[in-house]
């Protein structure tokens, strides 16, 4: 809601967005409100489980299933399901902290 208020104040009615770590099209989404007001953009997330939901619920968006990291290569992805999906991470250290 904060982003929507800022864009409204700036007179930008339909901003585009790049949502890195998008997770899900509606659950804990940073861009769902913007989309519901006519905006569209690009969603990037490493979890392929949500691709069908993005295609169904956000057809104007482009959704890319990839991880984002400072270097190229393959990394292990620690994935949570359901409402905890937003805590998925490439960081084993962070995951261990969440589980203890």
Question: What number of H helices and E strands is found in the chain?
Answer: 4, 3
Q: Is residue 41 part of a domain?
A: yes
Mean pLDDT across the chain, nearest whole number?
A: 87
Question: Could you read off the pLDDT of 77-98 as tens digits, one per residue?
Answer: 877 776 666 677 777 787 778 7
Residue 14 lies in a domain: yes
User: Would you state the pLDDT for residue 85?
Assistant: 67
Residue 55 lies in a domain: yes
> Does the residue 56 lie in any domain?
yes
Q: For residue 13, what pLDDT is reported?
A: 87
Identify the domain containing residue 48 by its residue range.
2-74
Long-range contacts of 64-71 (CB under 8 A, 24+ apart): 68/20, 68/21, 68/44
Other C-beta atoms lying within 10 Å of the C-beta of residue 53: 14
- Within-domain flag for 80: no
Residue 81 is assigned to a structural domain of this protein? no
* Per-residue pLDDT reduced to its tens digit, 35-61: 999 999 999 998 888 899 999 999 999
């Amino acid at each position: 809601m904060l982003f929507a208020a800022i864009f409204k104040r700036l007179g930008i009615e339909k901003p585009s967005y790049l949502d890195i770590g998008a997770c899900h099209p509606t659950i804990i989404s940073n861009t769902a409100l913007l989309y519901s007001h006519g905006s569209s953009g690009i969603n990037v997330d490493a979890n392929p489980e949500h691709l069908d939901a993005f295609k169904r619920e956000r057809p104007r968006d482009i959704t890319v299933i990839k991880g984002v990291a400072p270097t190229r290569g393959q990394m292990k992805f620690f994935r949570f399901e359901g409402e905890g999906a937003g805590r998925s991470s490439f960081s084993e250290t962070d995951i261990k902290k969440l589980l203890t």
